[in-house]
């Protein structure tokens, strides 16, 4: 196991093993409510994983077994978010984490056990995939705080569940159980609590063993396709496809298939 140095806070743990990078939100006393300090520490951990060729997939999860992330740390609101101007500055600092997760060229998995609320749900939606335990709970309580949910956060939820269900989640601020979250497409898989770690590790290992250039191309192309048509970078999509066919990994994949062996991917 290799730990990431210089995170800057003990409330974020970051390490990698077997090609999997782990970001752990480590504030269980507050159900992993996200402070600015935690956001900025997680940004540093993700940047280290982005630069590490050995890391092929990143898992985000919460410590303590009771929450993924229960939202923003409301104790900071009076000092940092008491007005629209303050909130703008707060969002500029805290929002970097969400954008970095969304734009990371490597696949990301949210491993959810317990509360996944507000900004925590936005963070999970920013990930490529979401695995949760049967006892997990999801909600966006913005309507109970007179907060307008951020445009990008709302778009990520909308992409997952559609406009009517997005309105339901935000209008009502009600709590969804894991079964309802799965039925509406908010999460990809629901597993018993004692199996969540193994389920995520097993799935992540599949991604580690697959061709990294193919996975990168798939992630970026899908992200382009869900944009409005005028915003899509079709040239990028074409380049990603061509790079795969021109890569050394494509040659290795063909040879390994013919020789009936496991390919040795280089990401080139």
> What is the per-residue pLDDT for 80?
57
Q: Which residues contact 146 (CB under 8 A, 6 or more apart)?
A: none
In the predicted model, is pLDDT for residue 79 greater than 90? no
> What is the per-residue pLDDT for 95?
73
> What is the per-residue pLDDT for 93?
66
* CATH architecture observed for domain 2-207: Alpha-Beta Complex (3.90)
What tens digit of pLDDT does each residue of 112-147 get?
999 999 999 999 999 999 999 999 999 999 999 888
Q: How confident is the model at residue 36 (pLDDT cuts 50, 70, 90)?
A: confident
Dihedral sign (CA 183, 189, 195, 196): negative
> What is the per-residue pLDDT for 12?
96
Nearest-angstrom CA–CA distance, 9 and 81: 22
What tens digit of pLDDT does each residue of 13-25 get?
999 999 999 999 9
Nearest-angstrom CA–CA distance, 73 and 237: 38
Contacts 24+ apart (CB under 8 A), 118-122: 118/70, 118/71, 118/72, 118/142, 119/34, 119/69, 119/71, 119/72, 119/94, 119/153, 120/32, 120/34, 120/67, 120/68, 120/69, 120/70, 120/71, 121/157, 122/98, 122/149, 122/150, 122/153, 122/156, 122/157
In the predicted model, is pLDDT for residue 74 greater than 90? no
Nearest-angstrom CA–CA distance, 141 and 145: 7
Domain ranges in the chain are 2-207, 210-259
Average pLDDT, the chain: 92
Q: Which residues contact 135 (CB under 8 A, 6 or more apart)?
A: 113, 114, 178, 193
Question: Alpha helices, DSSP H only, in the chain?
Answer: 36-51, 77-80, 84-103, 119-126, 151-161, 163-172, 178-183, 196-209, 212-225, 234-245, 248-259
Mean pLDDT, residues 28-37: 92
């Amino acid at each position: 196991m290799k730990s990431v140095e210089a995170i800057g806070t003990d409330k974020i743990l970051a390490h990698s093993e077997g090609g999997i990078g782990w970001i752990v939100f480590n504030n269980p006393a507050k159900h992993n409510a996200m402070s600015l300090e935690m956001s900025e520490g997680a940004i540093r951990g993700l940047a280290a994983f982005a630069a590490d060729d050995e890391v092929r997939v990143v898992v985000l999860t919460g410590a303590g077994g009771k929450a993924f992330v229960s939202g923003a740390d409301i104790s900071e609101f009076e000092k940092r978010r008491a007005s629209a101007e303050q909130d703008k500055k707060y969002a500029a600092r805290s929002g970097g984490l969400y954008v970095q997760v969304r734009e990371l060229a490597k696949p990301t998995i949210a491993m959810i056990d317990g509360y996944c609320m507000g900004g925590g749900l936005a963070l999970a939606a920013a990930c490529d995939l979401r695995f949760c335990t049967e006892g997990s709970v999801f909600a966006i309580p913005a309507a109970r705080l007179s907060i307008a949910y951020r445009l990008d956060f709302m778009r990520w939820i909308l992409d997952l569940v559609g406009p009517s269900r997005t309105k339901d989640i935000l209008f009502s601020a009600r709590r969804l159980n894991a079964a309802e979250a799965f039925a509406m497409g908010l999460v990809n898989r629901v597993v018993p609590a004692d199996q969540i770690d193994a389920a995520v590790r097993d799935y992540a290992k599949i991604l580690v063993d697959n061709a990294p250039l193919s996975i990168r191309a798939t992630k970026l192309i899908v992200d382009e396709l869900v944009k409005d048509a005028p915003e899509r970078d079709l040239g990028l999509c074409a380049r990603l496809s061509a790079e795969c066919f021109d890569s050394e990994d494509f040659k290795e994949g063909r040879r390994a298939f013919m020789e009936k062996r496991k390919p040795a991917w280089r990401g080139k």
